[in-house]
């Protein structure tokens, strides 16, 4: 019988090392390869010369802020992190106007391309009758409350000295209070101590993986992660109860009002004119009945301080077609049609007299 030659036994440490390479090294290499391929695809499809993929970057005060010179699949930021393709023109040309619009995702307009968001449509109107280098800078950010907006404005206004500042805010105040409460921070206690404008730094964009991993973004944006974790669970098909409106939270409202007063004072201190626009939307969708109330209540504070107040719900009321045409499914994020009408409305009711 022929005998087979057996190779020398490997030392135990080598066996362990090879096992680790197979068990740990290979998956890591695979993940890195997928990440690299993801970045390459995004760069090929959406890349912008001189800009890097990923809109958000770490910020010690805010948790995360829009990165300078960044892009993703439908957005770009300029050299100062505004959602504008064009950089801030410095110094401001003679005869040109500079406007900054602050707010949450309803100002950012994540459902629209950068140039289709209402601040950029407003810029088109402004340039058509003033200086072609007039600018409207989009400082909106997803899930930001008025506290984050003021924190950013404290950086922007002293440097940029805008002529006009538009406040389109209030829809994220309830969520901010809920996030703070989950972190063990009482907004009610803070108000009693004379503090206001507190905000959570633990928003979705504050997660390192969400900012830097194409795999995580793909899974979350496509809903694949939700499908995976809900696998094995079935929908009974039972009718869902309509959302219950719990009414306005007086603590949230008081925090918003106090922070709004600070915002208006900050704007005027830096030589700009504030314009307050009440958030518009479809109250029958989701929690909108409750969430839009903070913006409407804040309008009374603005009026008391002599600020020009516009109600964007006038745009909705004036539209003769299906009101849902003006918004995305959320009922508060303007559609392409709605964004254009809102820009025309703000231009007609405010900018034509303030920036003739």
Each residue's pLDDT tens digit, 163-211: 999 999 999 999 999 999 999 999 999 999 999 999 999 988 777 666 6
Q: Residue 26 class from Cβ within 10 Å (0-12 exposed, 13-18 middle, 19+ buried)?
A: exposed
At residue 237 the predicted structure's pLDDT band, cuts being 50, 70 and 90, is: very low
Max Cα separation, the chain? 105
**How many angstroms separate the CA atoms of 96 and 355, rounded?**
9
- Give the CA distances from residue 274 to residues 75, 233, 294, 309, 354, in Å, rounded to whole numbers and listed in that order: 27, 50, 18, 9, 10
At residue 235 the predicted structure's pLDDT band, cuts being 50, 70 and 90, is: very low
Give first-to-last CA distance, the chain, whole Å. Answer: 104
Alpha-carbon torsion angle 104, 107, 112, 118, nearest 10: 180
**Range from 26-35, 189-198, 298-307 carrying the lowest mean pLDDT:** 26-35
Angle at Cα 243 formed by Cα 242 and Cα 244, nearest 5°? 115
pLDDT tens column, 32-48: 676 667 566 656 666 67
DSSP 325: G
Select from 155, 153, 166, 173 the least CA-distant residue to 118. Answer: 166
**Most confident among 20-29, 108-117, 221-230 (mean pLDDT):** 108-117
Give strand pairing partners of 66.
56
Phi, psi angle pair for 95, to nearest 5° = 85, -5
**Range from 15-29, 51-65, 178-192, 307-321 carrying the lowest mean pLDDT:** 15-29
Q: Is the separation of the CB atoms in 162 and 99 below 8 Å?
A: yes
**How many angstroms separate the CA atoms of 42 and 46, rounded?**
6
Name the H helices within the chain: 12-20, 26-46, 105-108, 118-129, 146-160, 173-182, 187-192, 208-212, 214-222, 224-229, 250-269, 288-291, 293-304, 313-318, 336-346, 352-354
The highest-level CATH class for domain 49-226+247-354 is alpha beta
Select from 148, 164, 135 the least CA-distant residue to 105. Answer: 148
- Give the CA distances from residue 3 to residues 6, 9, 111, 220, in Å, rounded to whole numbers and listed in that order: 9, 17, 72, 58
Q: Is the separation of the CB atoms in 133 and 93 below 8 Å?
A: yes
Query: Which tops the pLDDT comparison, 278 or 16?
Result: 278
Return all residues near 245 (Cβ < 8 A) that are at least 6 apart: 287, 289, 290
């Amino acid at each position: 019988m022929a005998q087979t030659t057996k190779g020398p036994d490997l030392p135990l440490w080598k066996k362990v090392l090879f096992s680790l390479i197979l068990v740990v090294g290979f998956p890591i290499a695979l993940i890195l390869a997928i990440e690299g391929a993801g970045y390459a695809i995004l760069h090929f499809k959406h890349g912008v010369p001189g800009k890097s993929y990923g809109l958000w970057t770490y910020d010690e005060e805010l948790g995360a802020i829009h990165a300078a010179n960044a892009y993703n699949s439908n957005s770009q930021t300029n050299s100062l992190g505004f959602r504008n393709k064009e950089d801030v023109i410095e110094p401001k040309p003679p005869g040109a106007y500079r406007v900054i619009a602050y707010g949450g995702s309803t100002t950012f307009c994540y459902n629209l391309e950068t140039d289709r968001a209402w601040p950029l449509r407003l810029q088109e109107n402004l340039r058509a009758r003033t200086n072609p280098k007039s600018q409207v800078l989009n400082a909106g950010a997803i899930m930001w409350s008025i506290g984050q907006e003021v924190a950013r404005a404290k950086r922007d206004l002293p440097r940029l000295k805008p002529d006009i500042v538009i406040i389109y805010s209030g829809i994220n105040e309830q969520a901010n209070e809920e996030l703070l409460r989950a972190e063990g921070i009482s907004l009610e206690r803070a108000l009693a101590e004379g503090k206001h404008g507190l905000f959570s730094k633990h928003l979705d964009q504050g997660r390192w993986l969400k900012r830097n991993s194409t795999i995580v973004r793909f899974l979350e944006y496509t809903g694949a992660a939700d499908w995976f974790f809900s696998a094995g669970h079935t929908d009974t098909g039972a009718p869902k109860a309509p959302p219950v409106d719990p009414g306005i939270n007086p603590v949230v409202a008081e925090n918003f009002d106090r922070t709004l007063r600070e915002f208006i004072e900050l704007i005027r201190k830096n030589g700009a004119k504030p314009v307050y626009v009440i958030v518009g939307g479809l109250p029958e969708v989701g929690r909108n009945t409750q969430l839009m109330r903070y913006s409407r209540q804040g309008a009374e504070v603005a009026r008391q301080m002599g600020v020009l107040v516009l109600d964007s719900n006038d745009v909705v009321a004036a539209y003769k077609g299906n009101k849902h045409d003006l918004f995305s499914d959320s009922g508060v994020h303007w559609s392409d049609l709605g964004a254009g009408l809102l820009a025309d409305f703000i231009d007609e009711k405010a900018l034509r007299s303030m920036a003739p």
